[in-house]
Amino acid sequence: MGISGGSGANVIAWAGAGAALGDMATHGGRVDQAVVQMRIWVQSAYDASVVWTNRVDVKVSPESVLADNQYDTLFEHAIRKATTALMDNFVLYGLP
pLDDT tens-digit series, residues 39-67: 999 898 999 899 899 999 998 887 765 55
| Number of domains present in the structure of the chain | 2
Host domain of residue 10:
1-30
pLDDT at res. 80 = 93
Does one domain contain both 70 and 87?
yes
Question: Rounded to two decimals, what is the model's pTM?
Answer: 0.59
Domain co-membership, 77 together with 66: yes
Q: Do 64 and 90 fall into the same domain?
A: yes
Maximum C-alpha span of the chain: 86
Q: Judging by beta carbons within 10 Å of its beta carbon (0-12, 13-18, 19+), is residue 65 exposed, middle or buried?
A: exposed
18 plus 61 within the same structural domain = no
Q: What share of the chain is helix, strand, coil (3-state, %, to 5)?
A: 45, 20, 30
Virtual torsion, Cα 23, 25, 29, 30, nearest 10 deg: -20
Q: Which residues contact 74 (CB under 8 A, 6 or more apart)?
A: 32, 33, 34, 60, 61, 62
State the average pLDDT over residues 22-34: 59
Is residue 55 domain-shared with residue 74, that is, in the same domain?
yes
Least confidently predicted of 13-17, 36-40, 53-57: 13-17
Domain shared by 86 and 51, yes or no: yes
